[in-house]
Chain A
Amino acid sequence: MKAKKPFITSIASGKGGVGKTFITANLASCLAKDGNKVLVVDCDLGLANMDILLGISPMFTLQDLVFGNRSVEEVVVCTKAGFDLVPASSGVKEMGQLLYEKIQMIKSSLDTLIPNYDHVLLDTGAGISEVVLQFNLFAPNNIIVLNREPTSVTDAYAVIKVMCQRFARQSFGIIVNSANNEKEAGRLFRHIDAVSRDFLDLPLHYLGYVVTDGAVPNSIMNHRVLVDTHPGSGVGMNCSHIARAIPKWAQQATVSAIV
């Protein structure tokens, strides 16, 4: 029996299409490679696509947990990438606007599953809808993914502001995706960090960046996790770097949350 409590981390973005799901899958795979038991929960209800990214067609999804009478153990699947996944269904309108009670139900089902893992990553949807925020609240550690597009920066800031001002969240990790290089990524981080310090009195935490790589679209097309197929690539190195930064940051964040 492990005495350690699992790290529960949400991975969100302000705007859709910044590579949140791609990063989640690759980070999960890296964490698994490092010897952790990892669970990914596809919380992007209504527009779920983790299953597509991984090329699996799950028998049951979160929808069966919520509306059918499936248990969470029936819904969870093992993936080739080395982590377990609780998949969601796409295109189900009611899932996008789940009742508060149902969200609570998902949370309490996950509670029974979580003790079996070292890391739990929640791939939440983009934006600041109540469902997304509720899942972000479920995770003590919140990661926000952004890229160089101005709208992705302002939307990421909106998520941080809401989580901070409405729910008093204080610890946000930032991942810059699709950066040209390390310098550009650092500049992007420093920029949003400065605005956050100025207006919210809240410093952000830089977890790392992932470079633009022509191999990324290919890996997605082939339904493979890039860090599995190209562990030595730039993207692979970046991801494993971030994967190692997460536990350190999370521990630090937990300590500061207790204080």
Chain B
Amino acid sequence: MARFSESHMPSSKRNLNTHSPSSHPPSSLVQRPVPAGERGRSWNHILGILRKNKAISAWLDLGNHQNPELFVVLADELSGPEREALAAVTDVVVHTRDHLTKKIADLERRNQHLRALSLTDGLTGLYNYRFFAKQLDVEIARTKRTGQPCSLMMIDLDDFKQLNDTLGHNEGNAFLVKVAQVIREQLRPTDILCRYGGDEFAVIMPATALFDALRIGERLRASLSRLPFKPSTPCSASIGLAECDPVFAHGFRAFVDIADKALYRAKTEGKNRICFEGTLPEMRGVPSVTQDEKEALLKRDD
């Protein structure tokens, strides 16, 4: 199978951009370097094969920076030599009777793996800052559109630097992995846990009001404090909380700043605690007295 250097790859990303060979051939196909043994074969010959067999050629976007795209040909009635000729200049030649779905699934799996690599943190496996920033913007937009609350929790381990300095970075990293696991266990499936950086974690809590976020935060703080830090000292974390205001939502940076402010307060007020920005809401989602009930209550019976 032919491999091509990056400089020859088309710069624009096309996702399954199919070409019918009867129309203009893809220009990039013509630019492909031909392996030494194939030099004599004319490109017209290749295009002829594509046309004759009503073949479909496609660029598959892999999202990978080294090899962003694959050139795939799908053709049905190829003779042996035709198949060979095509195989020399394309990445994959598939027959419709081949397990096309399996091949695409393989490519998709590889694609996903590569995408995951660019969105997660290598140490803890949590989402990284890049994903966090993107997703928080999405959730703020959702809050603005639906009016549903969204809370943000910033978690910072207390005195983590000390642990790193005394026990070394390997131990420190192993501890961070454990912390990530403990936090994950306390969250709900819809919460998005990210490693914000260093020993700081961020949790995006969609459709969650401040008070519910507080409950979860308290549960989380308590479970972290049961995690042994050093042999004799328990671990503790400071937590800052904020709820996205659908009216004054100014994008993710402002939202993070508010939660950070709360986190800073938690640190200065003595660590191992939760602080929040905003007021404790009156009851939300609580059944209020209906008109029928009110009428029944106010009815004068005698």
Question: Does A116 reach chain B (CB closer than 8 Å)?
Answer: no
Query: Does A166 lie at the interface of the complex (its beta carbon under 8 Å from any beta carbon of B)?
Result: yes
Contact B218 A157 (CB under 8 A): no
B86-119 to A contact mask, C-beta < 8 Å, 1/0: 0000000000000000000000000000000000
The number of residues on chain B lying at the interface, defined by a beta carbon within 8 Å of a beta carbon of chain A, is 27
Residues of B within 8 A of A233 (CB): none
Q: Please choose the segment from B48-56, B179-187, B272-280 that sits at the chain A interface, where 4 or more of its residues have CB less than 8 A away.
A: B272-280
Chain B residues, Cβ within 8 Å of A195: 293, 296-297
Assess whether B287 is in contact with A130, with CB atoms less than 8 Å apart. Answer: no
> Which residues of chain B have C-beta atoms less than 8 A from A162's C-beta?
283, 286-287
- A192 adjacent to B297 (CB under 8 Å): yes
A194 surroundings in chain B (CB, below 8 A): 296
- B7 at interface, CB cutoff 8 A: no
Does any Cβ of A come within 8 Å of B229's Cβ?
no
Complex interface: chain A residues within 8 A of B218 (CB)? 100-101, 104
* Bound CA–CA A38/B296 (angstroms): 38
Is B165 located at the chain interface by the 8 A CB criterion?
no
Q: How far is the CA of A100 from the CA of B214 in the complex (A)?
A: 7
A100-B211 in contact given A158-B289, A161-B289, A162-B286 (Cβ < 8 Å): yes
Known: A99-B280, A101-B274, A130-B283. A154 touches B211 (CB 8 A): no
A97 surroundings in chain B (CB, below 8 A): 279-280
Specify which of A98, A99, A133, A154 lies most central, judged by the most chain B CB atoms within 10 Å of its CB: A99
Chain B neighbourhood of A165, CB < 8 A: 286-287
**CB closest chain-B residue, reference A162:** B286
Nearest-CB distance from A168 to chain B (Å)? 13
- Residues on the A chain within 8 Å of B287, using CB: 161-162, 165-166
CB distance from A177 to the nearest CB of B (A): 17
Q: Are B293 and A157 in contact (CB under 8 A)?
A: yes
A31 in the interface, Cβ–Cβ < 8 Å?
A: no
B221 to chain A, nearest CB (A): 8
Instruction: Assess whether A153 is in contact with B283, with CB atoms less than 8 Å apart.
Output: no
Interface residues of B in 264-288 (CB under 8 A from A): 273-276, 279-283, 286-288
CB-based contact B274/A128 at 8 Å: no
Q: Does A5 contact B (CB under 8 A)?
A: no
Asked if A131 is at the interface of the complex by the 8 Å CB criterion, the answer is yes
Q: How far is the CB of B151 from chain A (nearest CB, A)?
A: 13
Of residues 204 through 232 on chain B, the ones whose CB sits less than 8 Å from some CB of chain A are 211, 214-215, 218, 221
Given the known A-B contacts A130-B211, A161-B287, A199-B292, are A154 and B298 also in contact in the complex, defined by CB atoms under 8 Å? yes
For residue A155, give the distance in angstroms from its CB to the closest CB of chain B. Answer: 9
Is B214 a contact partner of A101 (Cβ separation < 8 A)? yes
A154 to B287, CA, bound (A): 13
Instruction: State A199–B117 Cα separation when bound (angstroms).
Output: 55
A68 within 8 A of partner (CB): no
B242 → A minimal CB distance (Å) = 13
A155 nearest CB neighbor, chain B only:
B289
How far is the CB of A235 from the nearest CB of chain B, in Å? 26
User: Given contacts A101-B273, A162-B286, is CB(A150)–CB(B297) below 8 Å?
Assistant: yes
**Considering only CB atoms, which chain B residue lies closest to A100 in the complex?**
B214
Which residue on A lies nearest to B282, using beta carbons? A129
With A97-B279, A101-B274, A187-B301 in contact, is A154–B286 under 8 Å at CB? no
Question: Contacts of B288 on A, CB cut-off 8 Å?
Answer: 158
Complex interface: chain B residues within 8 A of A130 (CB): 211, 280-283
On chain B, the residues within 8 Å of A192 by CB distance are: 297
On whether the beta carbons of B283 and A131 are closer than 8 Å, the reply is: no
Query: Known: A101-B214, A157-B289, A187-B302. Is A129-B283 also a contact (CB below 8 A)?
Result: yes
* Residue ID in chain B nearest A98 by CB atoms: B280
Residue B65 CB within 8 A of the other chain = no
Most buried by A among B218, B221, B279, B297: B297
Q: Is the CB of B297 within 8 A of A99?
A: no
Looking across the interface, which residue of chain A has its beta carbon closest to that of B281?
A130
A166 and B302 CA atoms in complex are apart in Å by 33
CA distance A119 to B283 in the complex (A): 29
What residues of chain A have their CB less than 8 Å away from a CB belonging to chain B?
97-101, 104, 128-131, 133, 150, 153-154, 157-158, 161-162, 165-166, 187, 191-192, 194-195, 198-199
14 pairs, A vs B, C-beta closer than 8 Å: A99-B214, A100-B214, A104-B218, A128-B282, A128-B283, A129-B280, A130-B282, A133-B283, A161-B289, A162-B287, A166-B286, A187-B301, A194-B296, A199-B292
Q: List 15 additional contacts besides A99-B274, A191-B301, A195-B296; criterion CB under 8 Å.
A: A99-B214, A100-B214, A100-B215, A101-B273, A128-B282, A128-B283, A128-B286, A130-B281, A150-B297, A154-B289, A154-B297, A158-B288, A162-B283, A166-B287, A199-B293
What are the 4 A-B residue pairs with the smallest beta carbon separation, nearest first?
A97-B280, A100-B214, A195-B296, A158-B289
